[in-house]
Amino acid sequence: MTISFIDRYNTAVGAVVAVMTAVFGAYWYLFAGYLALNVLD
């Protein structure tokens, strides 16, 4: 059985979310939002 692009994308995004949650805690998306706003500024 071949792994489709969607399966690979889902695995990659899941890994990123897991690592970000482990590093920054449950509210990692706030840190990511502030980082994005800082980069845009």
Q: What is the pTM of this model?
A: 0.65
Question: How far apart, in whole angstroms, are the C-alpha atoms of residue 16 and residue 9?
Answer: 11
Question: Tell me, what's the pLDDT at 24?
Answer: 83
pLDDT, tens only, 11-22: 999 999 899 889
- What does the longest C-alpha to C-alpha distance in the chain come to? 46
pLDDT, tens only, 22-41: 988 888 889 889 999 999 98
Radius of gyration in angstroms for the set of CA atoms belonging to the chain, rounded to a whole number:
14
Question: How far apart, in whole angstroms, are the C-alpha atoms of residue 27 and residue 20?
Answer: 9
The token pair at 3 is 């792994």
